[in-house]
């Protein structure tokens, strides 16, 4: 059976963001991979379908099987690093949205064809959603929900319009889409239909402009209101529950969760909050405070918490008792949880490891970089250092003391007919993330999300002055209260402006322009501009003309923004204008990180340069420019080689990143090119058959080879060792050695070096010389020395008992010689204690001189041993 897509695409929001390079490369490469493997079908995978998992550091996507915990396909995407992508998949379709370009692509997994594409506004703020029932493109910034065909991505019906700044966008088990509308404090259930999307239900879950996060559960939905510290659960049968929760710091929630219990990770101080209808529980966890502590989920009555900082997935029961710590190599990067069927996946984005967890809690490591599968070429090495975008590495200064927040600034208001629009600038958080603002005045109070620093207060009396207070809160408590000036609503208001346009400039600023407004009898004194993003709305400035340039650093790079303009006539203000177009602020990239320049080991005059990809600051990095010593190379990967330098040259190196905004500041270092090598033999040690030469060498920074010369004759060439072991030598022998070293920059041979093997000596013993007097003994002059190891050879000399010789080696003859014989019927022992032997000893009597071993005893060992003497 095929699985329902409601499980197949259960990825949390942050888990959807993976890195990819060029758009055409991404889709083309992925389709090519699938074409090589057959259809991507789950019909034989039961309820444990495979998922595509990403490895950021190597730019590779891998498909991991939920039943076997094995990777069956992997593919490296060229230049795929740093630029986020959202992936949604079912049994039959795969959707990809390239965040940096906004391009959406559809692949039909039954035919493996690229079937459609669509353009959306680039940057964060648009997301895609996919189920077996339909597909959506959700423009969170503009508040538009568009149903599209999952194959062609063409629009189905008219888009649904909601207040700008939506959150969420995920399907439930019944095939309904859920989104959050923070400006109204509502969540909306949407049903895809053949003629276009239809709103099924709207649920009020918070006060307007409070911070809400939506998690689709296995049964129903859960809405975290971190401003009011409540969670609302709405089950599929309509039951509604509200639970008060402990929320001591910033929270991470999953976009979807397989169980019925909602789980929230508090990153600082580290803890988990669980909610089951009206019941809530909070417990501390063993992890340290970290921005790599991810969203937790409940899976089969266990809570799983990914912790990239420690390389663990923590497992707890519902009472907060620790059950397990599952180790996974994280590379100091995020670990994210996904689920499909009855399987939980944990993916380490910075390494080639993932976890597959079954319903009984059994966890298995899945190596995403297997080489025995399609696409199994060795991937690029991982950069262990990581480059976590947005992570503050600190500047070495002492951390400020954590305390309650400071006071908001620029608290002001504009007025309309029976209404006041308050706005303010963010309060300093003093080391602890802001949790809410409280606003009081006109006999009422409001709790506002930290990202919603604009509040429209209605049902006021025109002509009546009002004052309001705003107080910031964090986990340490409430800050000092700010009080607004007296503000008086009036029915005398100007018209809103028209034709609001926004332009992102290449210096990080955004220019907003509009048509001049009609004051309707009131003098127009200026205009106020608000920026709207997913879940956020803030005033970014006022202008006395019909344009405003939002300063660099005010808005987040890579995030989508739309703008509204309010006409001001003194204290009176118009209704907000229509939304502008969406733009993404961008600037030049940061300087490349982790710059390393090394001497190229295989080429003279060359330097190899590597670096890590920096933050692109809202615009995709198009290339890198590597400069050094008058040479310039452009690269699209994070590695390059500079060539053409002289040997041993010190070269200053710089690398810059280039995007649509221009060239970054340089990362700089220095490296030397390869030098010609040098070598000498500094000392040696010796045994009877071996000399170890200690080399003092300089490989010049290159891949050097060493060739041994023994008595001027070339022996062998090897990678240069620190100690060159010369084996197979004769004992008691002097040698002359040289070592020739070469690399691509040059070659040199060491001076001659004399060394000898250990001296081994032996003495002759022949019984006739000492105690035997008979006919045989009287007929010989002693023991013969031969020119070869055989008695049939020529005798070149004789020797007698007590004569001593240096021994070089031993060999075997053509027969075994006994040291005993019979003379006149009497047994005679010419060498008592000596065994018969076929061995011969080569000695220093002549150039080639051999004596039978039965007539020689090697010094220092037993009569029948050759000791350390090597074989010839």
pLDDT digits (tens, 9 = 90+) for 183-201: 999 999 999 999 999 999 9
Residue 649 CA: distances (Å) to CA of 391, 667, 670, 849: 37, 20, 10, 57
**pLDDT, position 342:** 87
More confident residue, 559 or 767: 559
| pLDDT for 600 | 93
More confident residue, 206 or 451: 206
Categorize the per-residue pLDDT at 163 as very low, low, confident or very high, splitting at 50, 70 and 90: very high
Could you tell me which residue, 443 or 827, shows the higher pLDDT? 443
The DSSP letter of residue 710 is E
Pair of tokens at residue 424: 């303010």
Q: What is the pLDDT averaged over residues 492-502?
A: 93
Query: Mean pLDDT across the stretch 274-286?
Result: 95
- Tell whether the model's pLDDT for residue 531 goes beyond 80: yes
The region of weakest confidence among 7-16, 304-313, 371-380, 550-559 is 7-16
Q: What is the pLDDT of residue 385?
A: 39
pLDDT at site 34: 42
Q: CA-to-CA distance for 66 and 258, rounded, in angstroms?
A: 15
Q: Output b/e per residue, 105-124; b: 16+ Cβ within 10 A.
A: bbbbbeebeebbebebbbbb
Asked if pLDDT for residue 91 goes beyond 90, the answer is no
The reply to whether omega before 269 is within 30° of 0 (cis) is: yes
Per-residue pLDDT, averaged over 454-479, amounts to: 91
Instruction: Please say if the pLDDT value at position 668 is more than 70.
Output: yes
The answer on pLDDT for 13 being more than 80 is no
**What is the average per-residue pLDDT within 375-387?**
45
More confident residue, 37 or 279: 279
On the question of pLDDT at 776 being above 80, the answer is no
Confidence of residue 738 (pLDDT cuts 50, 70, 90): very high
Query: How far from the centroid of its chain's Cα atoms is residue 52's Cα?
Result: 16
Residue 390: the pLDDT is 36
Residue 654 has pLDDT above 80, yes or no: yes
* Greatest Cα-to-Cα distance within the chain, rounded to the nearest angstrom: 154
Whole-angstrom distance, CA of residue 564 vs CA of residue 581 = 10
Question: What's the average model confidence in pLDDT over 51-69?
Answer: 81
Q: What is the DSSP letter of 56?
A: T
Q: Does the structure show a pLDDT above 50 at 9?
A: no
Helices (H), 759-831: 775-778
Q: Which tops the pLDDT comparison, 4 or 470?
A: 470
- Range with the poorest average pLDDT among 569-583, 738-752, 769-783: 769-783
Q: What is the pLDDT of residue 374?
A: 64
Whether the pLDDT of residue 392 is over 50: the answer is no
Residue 2 has pLDDT above 60, yes or no: no
pLDDT exceeds 70 at position 27: no
Distances, alpha carbon 297 to alpha carbons 11, 171, 314, 478, in Å: 11, 17, 11, 31
* pLDDT computed for residue 400 by the predictor: 54
Nearest to 275 by CA among 304, 305, 297, 249: 297
pLDDT at residue 3 above 60?
no
Local confidence band at 275 (pLDDT 50, 70, 90 cut-offs): very high
> 3-state DSSP call for residue 265?
strand
Work out the average pLDDT over 334-358. Answer: 91
pLDDT of residue 782: 83
d(CA 407, CA 428): 7
Strand order in the sheet with 221-225: 212-216, 221-225, 230-234, 240-244
Q: For residues 597 and 592, what is the distance between their CA atoms, to the nearest angstrom?
A: 13
pLDDT in tens, 777-827: 766 778 899 999 887 767 899 998 999 999 999 999 988 999 988 777 778
pLDDT value of position 376? 62
Q: pLDDT grade, residue 469 (50/70/90)? A: very high
On whether the CB atoms of residues 210 and 189 are closer than 8 A, the answer is: no
> Is the per-residue pLDDT at 508 higher than 90?
yes
- Model pLDDT, residue 383: 41
Tell me the C-alpha to C-alpha distance, in Å, between residue 229 and each of 47, 206, 211, 275, 537. 36, 10, 10, 12, 21
Q: Is the pLDDT of residue 762 over 90?
A: yes
Q: Residue 492: pLDDT band by 50, 70, 90 thresholds?
A: confident
Q: Tell me the pLDDT of the chain averaged across its residues.
A: 86
């Amino acid at each position: 059976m095929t699985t329902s897509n409601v499980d197949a695409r259960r990825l949390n929001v942050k888990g959807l963001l993976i890195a990819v390079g060029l758009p055409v490369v991404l889709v083309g490469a992925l389709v090519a991979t699938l074409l090589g493997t057959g259809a991507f079908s789950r019909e034989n995978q039961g309820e444990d379908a495979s998922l595509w998992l990403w490895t950021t550091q190597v730019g590779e996507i891998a498909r991991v099987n939920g039943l076997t915990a094995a990777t069956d396909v992997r593919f490296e995407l060229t230049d795929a690093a740093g630029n986020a992508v959202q992936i949604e998949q079912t049994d039959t379709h795969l959707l990809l949205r390239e965040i940096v370009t906004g391009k959406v692509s559809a692949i039909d997994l039954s035919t493996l064809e690229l079937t459609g594409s669509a353009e959306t506004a680039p940057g964060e703020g648009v997301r895609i959603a996919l189920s077996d029932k339909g597909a959506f493109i959700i423009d969170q910034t503009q508040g538009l929900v568009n149903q599209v065909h999952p194959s062609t991505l063409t629009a189905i019906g008219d888009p649904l319009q909601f207040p700008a700044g939506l959150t969420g966008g995920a399907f439930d088990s019944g095939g309904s889409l859920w989104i959050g509308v923070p400006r109204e404090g509502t969540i909306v259930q949407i049903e895809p239909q053949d003629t276009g999307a239809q709103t099924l239900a709207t649920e009020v879950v918070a006060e307007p402009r409070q911070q809400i996060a939506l998690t689709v559960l296995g049964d129903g939905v859960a809405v975290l209101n971190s401003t009011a510290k409540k969670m609302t659960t709405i089950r599929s049968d309509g039951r509604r529950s509200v639970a008060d929760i402990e929320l001591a710091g910033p929270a991470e929630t999953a976009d979807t969760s397989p169980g019925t219990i909602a789980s929230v990770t508090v990153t600082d101080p580290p803890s988990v909050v669980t909610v089951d209808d009206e019941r809530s529980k909070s417990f501390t966890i063993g992890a340290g405070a970290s921005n790599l502590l991810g969203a937790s989920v409940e899976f089969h009555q266990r809570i799983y918490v990914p912790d990239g900082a420690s390389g663990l997935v923590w497992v707890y029961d519902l009472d907060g008792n620790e059950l397990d710590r599952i180790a996974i190599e994280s590379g100091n990067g995020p670990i994210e949880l996904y689920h499909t069927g009855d399987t939980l996946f944990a993916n380490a984005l910075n390494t080639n490891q993932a976890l597959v967890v079954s319903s009984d809690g059994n966890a298995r490591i899945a190596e995403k970089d297997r080489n025995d599968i399609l696409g199994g070429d060795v991937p690029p090495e991982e950069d262990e250092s990581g480059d976590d975008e947005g992570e503050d590495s600190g500047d070495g200064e002492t951390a400020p003391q954590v305390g309650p927040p400071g006071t908001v600034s620029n608290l002001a208001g504009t007025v309309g007919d029976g209404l006041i629009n308050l706005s303010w600038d963010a309060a300093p958080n003093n080391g602890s993330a802001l949790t809410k603002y409280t606003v009081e005045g006109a006999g009422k109070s409001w709790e506002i999300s930290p990202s919603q620093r604009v509040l429209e207060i209605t049902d006021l009396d025109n002509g009546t002055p009002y004052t309001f207070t705003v107080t910031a809160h964090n986990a340490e408590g409430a800050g000092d209260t700010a009080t607004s000036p007296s503000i008086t609503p009036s029915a005398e208001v100007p018209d809103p402006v028209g034709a609001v346009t926004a332009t992102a400039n290449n210096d990080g600023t955004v220019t907003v322009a509009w048509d001049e407004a009609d004051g309707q009898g009131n003098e127009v004194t200026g205009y106020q501009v608000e920026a709207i993003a997913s879940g956020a709305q803030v005033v970014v400035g006022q202008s006395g003309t019909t344009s405003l340039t939002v300063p660099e650093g005010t808005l987040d790079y890579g995030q989508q923004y739309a703008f509204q303009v309010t006409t001001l006539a003194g204290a009176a203000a118009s209704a907000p204008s229509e939304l502008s177009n969406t733009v993404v602020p961008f600037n030049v990239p940061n300087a490349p990180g982790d710059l390393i320049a090394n001497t190229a080991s295989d080429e003279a005059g060359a330097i190899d340069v590597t670096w890590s990809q920096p933050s692109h600051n809202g615009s995709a990095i198009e290339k890198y420019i590597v400069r050094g010593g008058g040479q310039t190379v452009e690269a699209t990967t994070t590695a390059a080689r500079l060539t053409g330098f002289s040997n041993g040259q010190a070269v200053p190196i710089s690398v810059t990143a280039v995007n649509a905004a221009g060239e970054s500041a340089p990362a700089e270092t220095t490296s030397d090119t390869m030098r010609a090598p040098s070598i000498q033999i500094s000392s040696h040690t010796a045994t009877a058959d071996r000399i170890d030469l200690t080399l003092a060498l300089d490989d010049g920074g290159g891949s050097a080879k060493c060739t041994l010369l023994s008595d001027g004759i070339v022996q062998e060439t090897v990678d240069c060792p620190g100690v060159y072991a010369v084996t197979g030598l004769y004992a008691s022998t002097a040698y002359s050695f040289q070592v020739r070293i070469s690399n691509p920059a040059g070659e040199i041979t060491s001076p001659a070096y004399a060394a000898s093997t250990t001296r081994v000596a032996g003495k002759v013993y022949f019984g006739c010389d000492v105690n035997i007097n008979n006919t045989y003994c009287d007929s010989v002059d002693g023991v013969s020395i031969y020119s070869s190891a055989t008695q049939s050879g020529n005798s070149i000399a004789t020797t007698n008992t007590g004569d001593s010789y240096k021994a070089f080696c031993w060999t075997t003859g053509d027969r075994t010689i006994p040291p005993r014989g019979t003379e006149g019927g009497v047994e005679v022992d010419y060498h008592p204690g000596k065994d018969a032997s076929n061995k011969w000893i080569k000695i220093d009597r002549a150039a080639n001189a051999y004596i039978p071993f039965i007539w020689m005893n090697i010094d220092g060992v037993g009569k029948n041993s050759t000791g350390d003497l090597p074989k010839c």
